[in-house]
Structure 1
Amino acid sequence: MISQVVRTFLLSFVISSVFCHDINTYNADYGVYVGELSSPESDISGQVFVVNATTLQIFNLTFSPTQQDLYFWLDTKETPTKEGVKAHTYEYGITPLGSFPEDNDRVVVHVPEKNRIDDFKSFSIYSFKTDKNYASLVLPEALKIPKSVALTTEFSGKRYSLRSGPLYVIDRRTIKVYGFTFEGNKAPKTYFYAGRGASVSYSSGVKVAIRGKDEKEISEISENYRGGKDIILELPENYDIFHIDWISVYCYKYRVNFGSVLVPTDDTLANLPPYVPSFKRNSDEKSMTRGVLKGSAERRNFTFQLGDIEHIKNYNVLLTTRTDKLIAFLLQGNLRSPKYVWHVNSVMTPDLYLMRNVTYNFNVEGGREKMIPEFYNPLYIGDDENGGYNELSENEIERVTVHSPGPIESNTGPLCLWMHNKDKSANEPDTFLDCDGWPEDVHSFAFTPNETTPSVLYYNSGNNFNMGGRIFIVDELPEDIADSAEVPYNREKWHTLALSRQRADKVNGGKATLAAVFLIILTIMIA
């Protein structure tokens, strides 16, 4: 606890020293300072820096959301308007903002795809439903954006076919090596190595991690790289490109430099983006394996119902996050996950494989009660991964193509909910289905993909984010992927249950009427 307090204090002290600089000035550790995110009407505050053309980071953010409809917002006007766009975070994606973990030393914010930070004039925390600005700043004109740098140097050596394309310095601690070629399966105990000095030496260097390979510890290069693969190097903590003179492919066992590149000593790297730590998944967190349902001749009907996911550990949502020109797909479990997700034919958020020029029926049983947002889920098929069509801004809606027929609001039906069977006996399934309303009220629509339908679509809720899954449109169904097992349910049982509920409602309604008459008579007699 004490160490955390000390860490927070030291960070605040260091950050505060940055603000002696003017707006639109570069700091190698944090980026280009663009101002204080603040408002006289709220207690929101935070210091905002530009990391690169598509990323911001906020330090010392004080933010306690008072409502459900707040977003980081970018606008082409100096004050936020409904014509602006959402900027997303790792923690919440494009969903409304919630509280951020106290141990976060920064909040990283990403500009939407196909945009750059200098396309906008303001950055804010904004509610587009109420058109209210909760905190904002005006971005400076002629914004100085930190830039990654391409080097002309390449790896080249006489042993083990070592060579590469040029190196690309992404930020202070991250270097991309294009077209890396090296017979790592033959070389003895070899690592990427970086250090200081006029020449490569064992005593002045340190091992360098390969992203995606050395997440836990740095291991030797053992793969046969044939040039068709780019790799990304991450310098260790307390090292950066400004404090090394060379990067080597180095034989640790015999202390031999197989080939190296020199780091420029001029001002080539003067305005590099700062290093932003990547978010790590918990070591005990496991990725969710999605089910699969194929639209075969025996399966032309897909029924969409809700499922309670609270009993499922480490539920993960697939998001896309763009940093500079890199696309990173993040699986993570600390997003604002929905309480319910779509269960299709009883399978939780499966991948669907549908054939072109074949008609499928989609039955919707996700609730139509607008007063309870969790139970109002119009189904739609579109090219947007995250769903929540009714919650999107005008700018976001323009980017979405809906492929399901009719208005989205029309695709609602009675509520059916898959529940976890906590008190099940040995021969009972883990889940059971509970339905409200009448099975005759189920809404259905037909969907026929054709030659012009995109190969990947998504099914989602029009009212809630992150509830759906993928639809793969194919010419032939894959034979090497197995279907998931469905849990059978009895629709006649649902109808019987609906009748019994109707009778109970009539009886209870009659009792309530008699009680009301009795109270009225009693009131008159007392008067």
Structure 2
Amino acid sequence: MLLLLMYSIVWSIPRAEGQFEEENKEYMGLYIGSLNSYHHQVSGEVFAVDDSTILLKDFVYDGNGKDTFFWAGSSNRPGSKGFIVPDNNGKTNVLDKYYNEEFTLKLPSNKRIQELKWFSVFDISSQSNFGDVYIPSDFDPPGYQSLSKLEAGYSVKSDQVLVMDSKTIKIPAFTYDGTGGEVFFFAGEGPQPSSRGFIVPDELGYLAPLGVYDNKDVILQLPGTQTVFLIDWLALYDKANEKYIAYIIIPQDLNVPPSLVDVMEHRTGLPNCVMLHKNLMVAWESFPPQLTIQLSGFIQDDEYMAFGISGRQGENAMIGGDVALVYMDEFLGHVEDYNLTAKSVCLGERDKRGACSDEVLGGINNHQLHSASKENGVTALTYRTTFSNLGDPGDHEIPETGETSVIWAIGRISERAHRVKEPSFHHSYTKMHTTIDFGRKEPYSTCFPFTSDRKEVTAPWVIPAIFDPNRRTFNASLGPAGGRRGYSGRTGLPANSLAWYIEGYMIPELYLRRGLTYTFKIEGGNNPQSAEFYHPFIITDEPVGGYSRLTVEQKENVRVLAGLEFSWRGLPTKKTAGRLCQWSHRRDRDKRRDDEFNTFESFRNSLEFQCDEGDPGVLQVSPNLTWPDTVYYHSYTTPYMGYKINIVDNFRERPSFASAQGILPTLLLVLLATVIHL
């Protein structure tokens, strides 16, 4: 009996190990089989990603066939009755050599895997089958799987939840009133939600408590290496009170496509790490008075990461903040010490307001770069700083014990001069009050691997030009820059927080005729003491703007065509500024969700329009023969706010810049803006 028990235990060990290996094996899709090898060393494993996509893993072919293709068909065996499957580049070329490669193949249009009986590597000229795999007759390809609804009384409701792939869950028509407290998307193992689960980043990648949702389609990506095969439930979970509000069960063995996003492990080499966002982590090690910090992120080549001390302890406050700005300039890493005195770019060495480096403000750079790297899609920069401010009044001291309120941001880096970089407005930033104990003794980590974003196409909004032979007056006010679909998507340039709105819509292309006089009514703010809302209107021959920030040498290369008058010494003496009129987000709107609007019209209709007391500034513009064919309208104080003006000799030919569908909403918007100003 004892011998039998020992045999049973020994026999079960490899089975348990095999089961463990199977659970931890990367999910590639539904396994079809291994290629049967007949000639030219063909081998590999074949998976179905979905009903029209095949994945080949460890594929080998020596490339010596004469007229060889990927070939598929529905006859009993591989032969002349079949069709070419385009290769991993989408081409129908003769196959090259492959050695242990992994890639996907997309079937031609209207072809489905379940209609096939076989897939092969086939030489058409010799009618030779070099390797094949047969597809079962009852084959059911991976696809979206519908689950139950996520609902709890009147506060939470949705349509049926969809599992889109092994890492992606969609909650259609999701509604939540935002009153549940510290509520997160939460997932984990077990029969029902518990505190042993983990936070699932929201649809924007944030790890912050949820706000209000109103009938919104929400797509969630499980963090790090997590997949739907490793969780039993998805919930709305109140962490503070350790209770769930609503949840759904995730069935085992879901037949869903594999996720095609990249999972990027990153080891910081430091004992402490906090995940600030799906795409940003901060790690640190302290040996007072020295503090070593590493910022790591899944960011673009032209983006920066910023991290530092909040402007007010106990709050999430950008204004007054003291941050380190890190970025890569090609292969060279940079860390710079910045003070945030206003929600604008730095207005220059004279004005010294906005997001300015300590060196511009007369202080010192208290950060020393230690290392910089960009590997496997992750940018990491490590720098050393101190807990004290080293006598620089612009720097905040960091307590050696206890929690410190911190802020962070990710945005696009812009070039102020040749190889002189500065931050533009951030697209991701601190959403909640976040604290870190930099002097903690025990190692601490909430970090998980980075994952790439789903391949979603975010097209810029269509904003048709103003081409009106009868128009002589334009109203210019301010409004939000609109995320990736707004200013930056339209111009390809970094964005500021604000942009010019002409006749009620964002940075339209204008058409003016030489020999005519036009009137611009300027409502961009006339208080020079405001770093954020003082924007005299100018027209120049360069596309960036912010003339007041330029050096003397840079100004010599810019032609100012309208908006400024100069003294005999070349100094600006008169600027065209007027009261502040602004399109702004309503209090219940989250500005980080601007990209979710499919059209500019729907985005603009979500804003509210308000004007200060006073009169607009008035600028008379008369283009003449000396003007270039293309000029630009700008803010005098701030770059990246305006766009293009086309100077024409006549209006006989209408440019093909918009369809009739785009023109009608624009005309309605112009009429609406005119009524508002009246």
Shared fold per TM-score greater than 0.5: no
Structure scoring higher RCO (CA < 8 A, sep ≥ 6) equals 1
TM superposition score category, shorter chain reference: 0.3 to 0.5
Q: TM-score, normalised by structure 2?
A: 0.32
Q: Which has the higher strand share?
A: 2
Q: TM-score, normalised by structure 1?
A: 0.40
Q: Which has the higher helix share?
A: 1
